[in-house]
Amino acid sequence: MQPREKRRRRRHTAEFKAAAVAACREPGASVAAVALDRKLNANLLRTWIKRADKVPSMPKAIAAPEMASFLPLRIDTRNEPSATERPIRVHIRKGRTRVTIEWPATAAGACALWLRELLG
């Protein structure tokens, strides 16, 4: 019987670990499948994932992509009238009848009096 050659421990680069963890965080990916593809033990890969979650200073490639709730939007207001120039619009619906009334914003007090009498 021949003596078995001693197995050497493999060392993986930070980039390799980051790529493996990022692959696990893809939608629908399983840790086991990613581990098999990269010839890793799934438990070792789970350890890397836990470490990546604990260490905030890990490279951004490890972190899961963040979804922005809001995107910045620049609105060009040069051509829009100011708030005092825009009319007050009142939309009234009764059955199939619809009425829209526009009142100058500069006469907002008179509009309020009219609405009180109308709804009164």
Query: Where do the structural domains in the chain lie, given as residue ranges?
Result: 14-54, 88-119
pLDDT of residue 34: 93
Amino acid at 79: N
Q: What's the distance, Cα to Cα, between the start and end of the chain in Å?
A: 105
pLDDT of residue 65: 56
pLDDT of residue 56: 63
Measured in residues, the chain has a length of: 120
pLDDT tens by residue, 10-37: 899 999 999 999 999 988 889 999 999 9
Residue 58's Cα: distance from chain center in Å?
Answer: 21
pTM: predicted TM-score of the whole model, two decimal places: 0.43
* Token output for 84: 């005092």
Residue 100, strand partner residues: 91
pLDDT at 87 over 80: yes
Mean pLDDT of 47-65: 70
